Amino acid sequence: MATASLTKLAKVSALAMGATMLGRTLMKRSRRYRLIGKNALVTGGARGLGLDIARQLVLKGANVAIIARDPSEIARALVDLRQRRDSASVQVVGQVCDLQDPAAIDAMLAAVRGTLGPIDVLVNNAGMMQVGPLDSMSYADFERAMQLHCFAPLRTMLGVRADMRARGSGRIANIASIGGIVAVPHLLPYSASKFALMGLSQGMGAELAAEGIVVSTIAPGLMRTGSPRGATFKGDHEKEYAW
């Protein structure tokens, strides 16, 4: 009898596990998202990781707006992206914007909507690195990092929310960093602001899920995207760059 009971329990457990796995599979399938014809916005999209993300979106058939501060970088990136699209119907546009200026963010969002239409996909990728010991950092360094890595993504997320909520769907990806999980020496403004982005992104994901908006928080490790060449070095520049 004991053996029969154990066998029955094992079967019930197996069925329950199978149902759980099936449920997870169905959830994953329901979260698949077709990018063809969708309007995507990528901040920091003119070089490095942002440009790679924009390339993938274009290849998937999405209309893409890339955001950066440097007009010449945007021009080069647009040539690259337009060569990769399969159809001329895929729109690729660029917008100059200083993401540390809240009013500029609002104007940028309005301009992108005016060109592409409502935004379906938002990738908050823009970032900066300030490298050096704490004694070389100023309060303003922390403010700049927080504005770019936390408050700018917050403003763009709030800015596209109405577009996504109106359709009951949308995708937001916030590119944080391993430095937002483990504090990295000589990168304190960067790490502190990326920690803030991690919390903001995860909290927004919980808040917006009921509206059909999926928020992904991504924390890459070290990548060969040219970030050190765009970093600001303080203290002993040569040693900090080598490190």
pLDDT digit string (tens) for the chain, length 243 residues: 455 554 554 444 544 455 555 455 444 544 578 999 999 999 999 999 999 999 999 999 999 999 999 999 999 999 999 999 988 889 999 999 999 999 999 999 999 999 999 999 999 999 887 867 878 788 998 899 999 999 999 999 999 999 999 999 999 999 997 776 878 888 888 888 899 999 999 999 999 999 999 999 998 876 555 455 555 655 554 554 555
Residue 190 falls in the annotated catalytic set:
yes
With a CB cutoff of 8 Å and minimum separation 6, the contacts of 131 are 186, 187, 231, 232, 233, 234, 240, 241
Q: Please give the Cα distance from 175 to 221 (Å, whole number).
A: 11
Q: Is 227 helix (H, G, I), strand (E, B) or coil?
A: helix
Beta strands in 12-132 (DSSP E): 39-43, 63-68, 92-96, 121-124, 130-131
User: For the whole prediction, is pTM greater than 0.85?
Assistant: no
With a CB cutoff of 8 Å and minimum separation 6, the contacts of 208 are 161, 164, 172, 215
- Predicted pLDDT of residue 1: 47
- Predicted pLDDT of residue 29: 45
Q: Please give the Cα distance from 124 to 71 (Å, whole number).
A: 19
Q: Is 156 helix (H, G, I), strand (E, B) or coil?
A: helix
Q: Please give the Cα distance from 99 to 105 (Å, whole number).
A: 6
Minimal CA–CA distance to 66: which of 102, 129, 32, 116?
Answer: 116
Q: Please give the Cα distance from 93 to 193 (Å, whole number).
A: 29
Which residue is catalytic, options 33, 139, 190, 241?
Answer: 190
Q: Please give the Cα distance from 184 to 229 (Å, whole number).
A: 18
Is there a contact between 202 and 159 (Cβ–Cβ < 8 Å)?
no
Q: Please give the Cα distance from 230 to 177 (Å, whole number).
A: 16
- Predicted pLDDT of residue 50: 95
Q: Please give the Cα distance from 23 to 8 (Å, whole number).
A: 22
